[in-house]
Each structure stands twice: as C-alpha cells, then as structure tokens.
Structure 1
Amino acid sequence: MPVIESTRAATRWTTRIIPFVLAAAVGVATYAVVVRVCSSYLIDTHRRYGAAIVILVLYLLFFLLMVTTYARTIAVANTDPGLVPLGPLAVERNSRERKRTKTGAQQDLESQAYYAGPDLNPDSPGLEQFYAREVFVCDSDGRPKWCSTCCNWKADRVHHSSELGRCVYRMDHYCPWVGGMIGENSFKFFTQFTTYTACYCAVVLGATAFTLRKKIEEGSGLDPWVLAALVLAAFFGLFTFLMTVTSLRYIILNMTNVDMLGAHSKVYQLAVQVPRGTRSSDKFIVVTYPLPKPGQETNGYSSRTPTLEGAYGKTNGSRPTTRDDLATRTFAILKTEPGENPWHLSTWKNWQTIMGSNPLDWLLPIRKSPCVNHETQESFYPMGNALKDVRVRYGLPRDPVDHSNGFELKDLPSSNRT
C-alpha cells in the first residue's frame, strides 16, 4: 500500500528524522544498561549475577514489545490510517489538477470549482449509508455533515485532517513520532506503543539510577554513559507515561483528542429513526428519506395534488402504496445536552471497543480495534444510555421500536411487489 504522508514539507522532514533520533537514544540506553550496568558493574565488579539477569530479561522483554508495537503503529498510521473515500466531485477535481500539472497549464482561479455547500442532489452518492441506519449525526436540515474539501458526507466522528488533506475515521491526532495519523485503525497500537515505551524507560531509569547512586556511595565517580541513559530515560519516560495515561483515559471515556475539544459544552445533533407517520411537533422536526426530488413532495409524490402538513414540510395527500411506504424511513432531529457523550457505553464496553475482548489483543499488536467495523445498522459507532435519555427528553420511547408497523416486504401481496 502507498505511504500517506503529510501535506506539509516541514512535517514530512521531521517525521523522517525522528526515527534516527529514537534509534540513537535506544542505542545509548542499550550500551549503558547491557555493557556499563549489567556486564561491567554488576557482573565484573560485584558478581551480582541475579540482579543482572533480572535487568537484562526485563530490558529485552520491553525492548522487543516496544519495537514491535512501534513498527505496527508506523505501518498502520502510514498506510492505512482510516481515510474516508473521496467524493466523486473531489475525485474529478483532483484528476483535473493532475492533468494541469502534467501539461504545465497555468492555474486559473476563476475556473476552479469550489464545493462549499453540501450536494443537494437527493440521490447524492453515499447518502444511503446514513438513512439505512437507525441514528446518525446530522445538521439542522437532517442531512449528514458535509466536507467541502473531500466532497463527501461525513460519518459520525469523522473529521478532516489538515495534515493529510483528507477526512479520517475517529481521528485523534497526527503523531510526528510515528509519522502518521492516529485514528481508529491505529489508536490501539499507539496506546500499546506508549505503554511499553514507558515500561522500557522505567527499566532503564531504574537500572541507571541504582548504578549511579551506588557508584557515588563507593566514590568511583560518574559514568557518562550511564548518566546520559538516565537523562534520556527520564525525558522519554515522562513523555510516554503522560501519553499512556491520556490514551487510557480516552479509551475509558470512549473519546478522542478531537472529541475532547470543547467536550463540556459540545452538543451533538442526531437524526433518530422514528415510526413512519410521525409528525413534527413543538419539540422536534422530522425528515423522511429518501429525500424528495425537485417537483415532488416527501415519498416522491407530485406536489400538484392536495397536501397535508407532515414530516419535513408537506406530504402528498394521495395514499402511497404499502411497498413505497416501506421504502421510506422517518427521522426525528434531536439534540444532546451540552457535554453529553452519546458514544459512552460503560467502562468495560468502552475498553472492549478499542482494545478488544481477548486479553491477548490487549498485550500484542495483532488485530485492529473492534470499532473499525461499521457494518451494524444501528449506527456507525455503538451508542449508549445517552441516546436513550435523549429519546425520553423528547417524548419518544426510551428504546427503539419496530418501525415497520408490522409489515415485511415478503408479506406484501404479489400485486404490490411489481
């Protein structure tokens, strides 16, 4: 798979240099711990074989885990960060730009297409993946959020990255230490990497600090290699420890770095499926999908016939067939309270969402997080009790009800299936 790099030259060069810096730091730590501490001081000088073996085993264990998780994080963050596919308009625009660059044509700003607003086509590509679900984050008109750069509909918790110039699923942050985007595909591996790095630094810090203290007590002077390793371990250990604590907190809360921005005042607007025939009220308005085409009212019927006040403006007075009625889905537009997190499940379920349910997955960077699976018809990401509380506040049933009104397509008479 191709490497997906930052659009900024300074960031690209920084991410290319950092691995050499980290390799040099690990090299200093390895020489200090293995040669200066274990071999020279503990074994040759004091014959403390047991202490040397314990330090070497712990060092090797966390070194291997750190390197493995680092490599896994780099691979996923750089080749599969969880990018949302570009919309057709963006693909067309990028194709024109590549052709213009290849031919050396001058860029005419006035001829460039800029898609600031959402696609108003009722059959806009990708729209069906939203109203096929029971709930999704929406704008005030009931449509999903739109990215004018990628020209696509943004699923729940999708954010546009200025570093990559693309929308990313469950985006957390761009990490120069791994040279890529940390999102739903790599957040688990990133947490494992920072955790094992903090443990690795703790082993180095403990071994070097103990050796320096003993050398000072013995009056044998400071070892510059041991001192350098201690400083590096203290710096990187503190940094990765704070990153680990922050990452674990986000996992427990089922949040991301982006979600936490203004989290206490953030309000989410949700399109929640309600039974067909539900009308707008003084508490909420409703929208019916598929959206009407120009010259038609809701459910695709001509607006020239008498109309009734209904969901999303007016509905046609003529009675739709049972088949056409089953093809529509009605959504109420509801809002959460400020600071309410609709994706908070429980501490244990939040943990399973990112780290998985198998303890082996918690320890080893093998499988991606379960949250990368968006096949459920309920929502893009599972929602917890906050959604149920929102339903109750708006006078709706706490739990979803059967929206089919007791009908299944297979139960329709054959005359209605044609």
Structure 2
Amino acid sequence: MAGPDAEKRANLVVSRIIPPVLLGIVVYASYAITKPLCIDYLLLPLPSYNRTPRVGAGAAILVLFYLLLIILIATYLRLLYTVIEHPGLIPVGPERAQSEKAEDSEKSDKRRRRRRSRKPRDAEKVDAPEDLEQGVHHNGDATASDSHSFGLESFYTKDVFVCQEDGRPPYCSTCCQFKADRSHHCRELDRCVRKMDHFCPWVGGVVSETSFKFFIQFVFYTATFCNFALVVSVYFTAEIKRNTGSVNAHWCVCIGLSGLFGLFTAGMTLSSLQLASLNLTTIENLSRRSVVWTLAIRVPEHLLAQLFVTNSPWAPTFRMVTYPQESSTPARVQTTEHAVAERHVFAILHTQPGENPFSLDSPFKNIQQVMGHNMIDWFLPLKQSPCADHSGQESAFALGPVVTRLKQEAGLLPPPENGLERQNSKYSRRGNKHRP
C-alpha cells in the first residue's frame, strides 16, 4: 500500500498532467463538432450523405458551441490563475521560515560543492572567500520570535474568532503558525490554506476561498457545454443512422466524452452550490452534523466595568481569556479595572453540535458570500468572493444568528427586540449545553 508521501507526489503529478489532457479533449471535441458535423454534414454536405445544405442549423450550432467554449475557457483560465498565483496560503511562522531558509542554504552548499569538485584545484582557492561568506550567511540570525505568540494580533483585534478550550486559536505544528478561522492544512502543498475546500487535480491545485467561486462557474459552464455537445451529437447520430444505416465515429466519441464529463460536472455543480448555500466547505461538511465550534467573543467594556461594582446585576458564567498574553498560557482577567481596560477580553463560548456560526439568515445570503452580490458576479469570473475579504472588524468571516444567540445567552448583548427574540427562540430553548 502506498504511503502518504507517495500519494501526495501522485496527486501533484496528476494535477500537472490533467490540465493539458483536458485541453486536448476540448480541441478534439471542437474538431468533431466543427468539421464532420457542421461543415461536412450541415453546411457543405459530402456527396455520400445525399442531402441539401442546412445553413441555419449549422450556423446556429457553431455560434452556440463556440460561445459556450469561449466562456468555458475564460473561466478555466481564471480558475487556473487563481489556484496557482493566489491559492489562499497562510504565511508560515518564523520557526518554519528559518528552518526552510537553513534547508535552502544547505542545498545551495551541496550544489556549490558538487560544482567545485568538478573544477581544477586552482579554482578552489578562488572559491574560498565565497565559502566563508556562505558560512556566515548560514549561521546568521539564529534568534527566532516566540512561536507561541507570533501572529496572535490578527485574532484578538477582531471581535470574534475560532479558538480552542484555552482561548487560543488552533495551532499548526507543521507551519509553526496559528491557523486562521476555517483554515485547513493541505498535505499536497504542505501549507495551511484559508477556507480550503479540497485539492483538485482537475484544476491543478487547491480550491479555497479565493477560487471556490471560479470553480463553481467552471463546473457549471463545463456541464452546460458538454450537455449541449451531447444533445447535438445524439440527435444527428440518430438521424444519420436512420438515413444511411451507419454512424460517424467522431460523433460517437463526442457522445461518450460529453456524457461522461457532463454528468460528472453537473453533479459537482449541484454539490458545490449546496455547500455554498450552507456556507460550508467540503472538509467542514464531513462533520457538520456533530462538530462543536468554540468561539472567543469579545466582552464589551461596559460589562467589564461591572466586574468591579458591588452587587452588579451581571456576573459572567463562562471562562474568559485576555490578550495580549505575556506567556504561552492564557491569562485570566486581571484583578484591577485599569489592567482590564488595557487588554482585549474574550468570553469562550460553544455552539450546539451541528450548528454553523458562519451560516447567515438564508441560503441565498450564504451563496452571495461565495458568488457575489449581483448576477453579473455570479456568471462572469471577474471579482473575488466577498468571503475572501477579511478586513471586517467583527470577524474574519460574516457571522450568522448562531453567534447572536450565543451573545444574548451570555449576556453580552442587550435584551433582543420581539422580532429577533422570536427568530432565535428555537435556539434559546436548547441553551448552550457545552458552555462551562
């Protein structure tokens, strides 16, 4: 049985081979529809067919075929560019960065030694100062930043972020960095990827928040293109079979290819749209019915001030964590009001099993987070998904009613209005069973 490394290498090799193969299939399909079907059968029929020209049908098929083909190619190129140039990788921590730098330096030393071994002895004296300089570079700055606190600012400057039980964000020991909300470590790239959906050899890399929209557009247009070619090929294959008793081999190959890829991409389109409507990735969907999200939610300053008021009506019933932290162990809320004012204080709350804190009020709003807020963005591969913008103060991603309910139950929000109370009543009755 092949090990993980062998499977990883195989996936990478396949991801480089498949795009050229797909290009070859598209070129062949274009030839089969254009020359044997439209030109030799409809526009300028061969004498063996003994038919009159059908210019209208041939021209209409060519226009629709190449219009779909142009849109398909444009979408695929946009997808490939995004997957290769902007895959959504999270920067590695300083510890791994220094390790990779040392490995690169070691490889450079080995290459230099191999080149020097092939030189005459006189050339070795010339290379001596360069070797000395390389040695200084290799052993240069050996001081690393504290990997247990590096990058925390991007989390506690938000109002809500995904955390562990101790209030710290999940940590990737391979990347030596805290994992951004909804990120996943991709073994093929050996890097953490923001909102990773899956590694897809068909598009040459990983599908993530930056490319999921273009992936949906690609599989949709591929399904439309293939189904159009399938219908045309089946119709005229049946016609020529009735008239001559024979079939065209190119049309039969088109039926097989378009049927296979059309069925596959149609299923991928429906599956991807379903995930988008739930505001989930393929990876998150694997455990969506049982997963419990742990969230760090900022405690408002006016509530923190009540901690030092005698007989205050508000008393926290949850664990809290403060930032910035002076050590790798999360600090508790400080005992003085002045210390609290200088820190970011968060409540550690839990969702119910199967609840998605990032699911918005409706499936349509969830799809908008991926596809965009107008129909032009839905059908043209122009803009990035709104969910790829993490500049918001509240959270890295838009938050849904589950988070609002958690805040209300913890007393972090004023009492809800009647409309909102009715909206969240079904959640309030269940309570937060996992809250300490």
TM-score > 0.5, shorter chain as reference: yes
Counterpart contact for 1:205–1:229, Cα < 8 Å = yes
Q: Determine the structure 2 residue equivalent to 1:177.
A: 202
Q: Determine the structure 2 residue equivalent to 1:301.
A: none
Q: Determine the structure 2 residue equivalent to 1:289.
A: 323
Pairing of 1:122-201 with structure 2 (within 5 A): 124-201=149-226
Q: Does residue 62 of structure 1 match 2:68?
A: yes
Q: State the distance in 2 between where 1:10 and 1:293 align.
A: 42
Q: State the distance in 2 between where 1:254 and 1:212 align.
A: 43
Q: State the distance in 2 between where 1:77 and 1:16 align.
A: 12
Deviations 1:57-92 (A, max 9, x none): 110111001111111111110121010011111111
Tell me the secondary structure at the aligned position of residue 10 of structure 1.
helix
Tell me how far 1:259 sits from its aligned partner. Answer: 1.1
Q: State the distance in 1 between where 2:93 and 2:415 align.
A: 34
Q: State the distance in 2 between where 1:215 and 1:385 align.
A: 59
Q: State the distance in 2 between where 1:50 and 1:85 align.
A: 56
Q: Does residue 340 of structure 1 match 2:365?
A: no
Q: Determine the structure 2 residue equivalent to 1:3.
A: none
| Matched residue type, 2:93 | G
CA distance 1:393–1:10, shift in 2 (3 Å): same
Pairing of 1:1-400 with structure 2 (within 5 A): 8-43=8-43, 44=45, 45-104=51-110, 121=148, 124-276=149-301, 277=304, 283-293=317-327, 312=332, 315-316=334-335, 319-321=336-338, 324-345=339-360, 346-397=362-413
Q: State the distance in 1 between where 2:269 and 2:205 align.
A: 18
CA distance 1:148–1:52, shift in 2 (3 Å): same
Deviations 1:225-264 (A, max 9, x none): 0000110000011111111111111111111111101110
Tell me how far 1:53 sits from its aligned partner. Answer: 2.0
| Matched residue type, 1:337 | Q
Tell me the secondary structure at the aligned position of residue 266 of structure 1.
coil
Tell me how far 1:12 sits from its aligned partner. Answer: 3.0
Tell me how far 1:283 sits from its aligned partner. Answer: 4.4
| Matched residue type, 1:370 | P
Q: State the distance in 2 between where 1:387 and 1:255 align.
A: 16
Tell me the secondary structure at the aligned position of residue 288 of structure 1.
strand
Q: State the distance in 1 between where 2:299 and 2:317 align.
A: 14
Q: Which moved further from structure 2: 277-286 or 210-219? A: 277-286
Q: State the distance in 2 between where 1:274 and 1:225 align.
A: 67
Tell me how far 1:7 sits from its aligned partner. Answer: 9.9
Q: State the distance in 2 between where 1:87 and 1:398 align.
A: 40
Q: State the distance in 2 between where 1:398 and 1:368 align.
A: 36
Q: State the distance in 2 between where 1:259 and 1:9 align.
A: 25
Q: State the distance in 1 between where 2:414 and 2:62 align.
A: 57
Deviations 1:188-213 (A, max 9, x none): 11111111111110111011000111
Q: Determine the structure 1 residue equivalent to 2:430.
A: none
Tell me how far 1:32 sits from its aligned partner. Answer: 1.7
Tell me the secondary structure at the aligned position of residue 222 of structure 1.
coil
Tell me how far 1:396 sits from its aligned partner. Answer: 4.2
Sequence identity (%): 40
TM-score normalized with structure 1 length: 0.81
| Matched residue type, 1:71 | L
Q: State the distance in 2 between where 1:254 and 1:16 align.
A: 30
CA distance 1:399–1:356, shift in 2 (3 Å): farther
Deviations 1:252-279 (A, max 9, x none): 1111111101110011000111134377
Higher helix share: 2
Tell me how far 1:41 sits from its aligned partner. Answer: 2.0
Counterpart contact for 2:408–2:415, Cα < 8 Å = no
Tell me how far 1:120 sits from its aligned partner. Answer: 7.3
Counterpart contact for 1:7–1:164, Cα < 8 Å = no
Q: State the distance in 2 between where 1:169 and 1:30 align.
A: 37
Q: Which moved further from structure 2: 91-100 or 9-18? A: 9-18
CA distance 1:390–1:31, shift in 2 (3 Å): same
Counterpart contact for 1:7–1:165, Cα < 8 Å = no
Q: State the distance in 2 between where 1:19 and 1:99 align.
A: 34
CA distance 1:399–1:355, shift in 2 (3 Å): farther
Counterpart contact for 2:323–2:345, Cα < 8 Å = yes
For structure 2, the residue ranges without an aligned partner over 5 or more in a row are 1-5, 46-50, 112-145, 308-313, 417-436
Counterpart contact for 2:351–2:406, Cα < 8 Å = yes
Tell me how far 1:320 sits from its aligned partner. Answer: 4.9
CA RMSD of aligned residues (A): 2.6
Q: State the distance in 2 between where 1:63 and 1:325 align.
A: 61
Counterpart contact for 1:136–1:380, Cα < 8 Å = yes
Counterpart contact for 1:388–1:399, Cα < 8 Å = no
Tell me how far 1:367 sits from its aligned partner. Answer: 1.4
CA distance 1:273–1:231, shift in 2 (3 Å): same
Tell me the secondary structure at the aligned position of residue 258 of structure 1.
helix
| Matched residue type, 1:21 | V
Tell me the secondary structure at the aligned position of residue 285 of structure 2.
coil
Q: Determine the structure 2 residue equivalent to 1:416.
A: none
Q: State the distance in 1 between where 2:170 and 2:330 align.
A: 23
CA distance 1:248–1:46, shift in 2 (3 Å): farther
Tell me how far 1:163 sits from its aligned partner. Answer: 0.7
| Matched residue type, 1:264 | R
Q: State the distance in 1 between where 2:8 and 2:191 align.
A: 13
